């Protein structure tokens, strides 16, 4: 693969509209991105989504590997496929678990969700949320978390991601290293969390540690400042947090997605700065959910940076290999 082809594999693009337009298909055929992500703006009804994903796969299939076709289908207030079964927010599962201590029902619900997703061509679900709802004033997590108890989150998130996997949908746990103790929304500004390192280990890291131990194949980062982990850079861009903590200490070897790089939490950085720093930190794939017309320029800029840096080139090769392995292992029948 050329550097341009390798760089393209790191991107998961958002796009506009219900159809695979001719310009979009041309771009997919030329660059072969790693994947795409669907939002409400792309979704009208089941037949339309099924047709859309099939057209996109035909246009963007690269080297025999299908596109990652992602979506945020958590349940509750984060559910893009609104005409499917109406799934409750994760907190409901946590409450039922605390009363009954059983988890089979969680895996069964996740299997049904995955079956619905797979039948319209979606193979990657950005769920479950592994955050602990430790701050009741948190404006972005709340009932998206399984519980305010870290151990309940760990116990309930694992069967959820196993249920997705059992039906051929790749799960993605989020938002590392934990968005639950924030006071602000990273879509709008950069949250700062000041809990101690010891508190991170006792609370926020518990579900991630267990999900990694149980083999979750992908995770997503959080655009937050963790004052006592790295006071200088958002977690997504922090080598201390991504490489040292997640990769080395927790032993995560799967594919790591950034949250959307257009979120205002990263407004201090240009997109190319964010991508380079994210790669150097240990991320593998970029969610770029807006401004589709900038994709060509972004890939060109990143390719130029990679050409100049042997260390960055090695990081790209490592990430491309992880993404290829993920697709080979979980999308082999698609």
User: Which are the catalytic amino acids?
Assistant: 187, 259
CA-CA distance, 142 to 94, in Å (whole number)?
A: 12
CA-CA distance, 52 to 219, in Å (whole number)?
A: 26
CA-CA distance, 271 to 289, in Å (whole number)?
A: 12
CA distances from 186 to 179, 192, 193, 222, 234 (A): 9, 10, 12, 8, 10
Helix/strand/coil for 307? helix
Spatial CB neighbours of 88, under 8 Å, sequence gap ≥ 6: 75, 76
Spatial CB neighbours of 198, under 8 Å, sequence gap ≥ 6: none
- SS3 of 63-110: the string is CCECCEEEECEEECCEECCCCCCCCCCHHHHHHHHHHHCCCHHHHHHH
């Amino acid at each position: 693969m050329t550097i341009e082809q390798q760089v393209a594999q790191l991107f998961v693009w958002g796009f506009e509209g219900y159809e695979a337009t001719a310009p979009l298909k041309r771009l997919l055929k030329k660059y072969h991105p790693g994947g795409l992500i669907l939002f409400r703006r792309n979704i009208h009804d089941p037949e339309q989504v099924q047709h859309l994903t099939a057209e996109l796969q035909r246009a963007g299939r690269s080297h025999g590997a299908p596109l990652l076709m992602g979506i945020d289908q958590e349940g509750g207030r984060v559910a893009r496929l609104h005409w499917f079964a109406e799934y409750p927010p994760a907190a409901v599962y946590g409450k039922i678990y605390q009363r009954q201590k059983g988890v089979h029902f969680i895996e069964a619900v996740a299997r049904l969700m995955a079956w619905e997703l797979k039948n319209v061509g979606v193979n990657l679900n950005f769920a479950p949320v592994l955050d602990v709802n430790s701050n009741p004033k948190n404006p972005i997590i709340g009932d998206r978390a399984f519980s305010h108890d870290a151990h309940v989150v760990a116990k309930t998130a694992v069967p959820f991601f196993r249920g997705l996997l059992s039906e051929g949908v790749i799960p993605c746990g989020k938002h590392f290293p934990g968005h639950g103790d924030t006071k602000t929304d990273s879509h709008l500004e950069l949250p700062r969390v000041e809990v101690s390192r010891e508190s991170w280990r006792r609370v926020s890291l518990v579900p991630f540690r267990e999900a990694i131990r149980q083999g979750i194949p992908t995770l997503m980062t959080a655009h937050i400042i963790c004052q006592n982990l790295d006071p200088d850079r958002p977690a997504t861009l922090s080598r201390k947090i991504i490489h040292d903590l997640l990769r080395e200490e927790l032993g995560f070897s799967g594919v790591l997605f950034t949250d959307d790089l257009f979120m205002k939490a990263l407004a201090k950085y240009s997109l190319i700065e964010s991508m380079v720093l994210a790669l150097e930190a240990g991320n593998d794939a970029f969610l770029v959910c807006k401004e589709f017309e900038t994709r060509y320029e972004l890939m060109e800029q990143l390719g130029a940076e990679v050409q100049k840096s042997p260390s960055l080139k090695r990081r790209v090769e490592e990430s491309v290999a992880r993404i290829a392995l993920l697709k080979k292992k979980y999308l082999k029948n698609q």
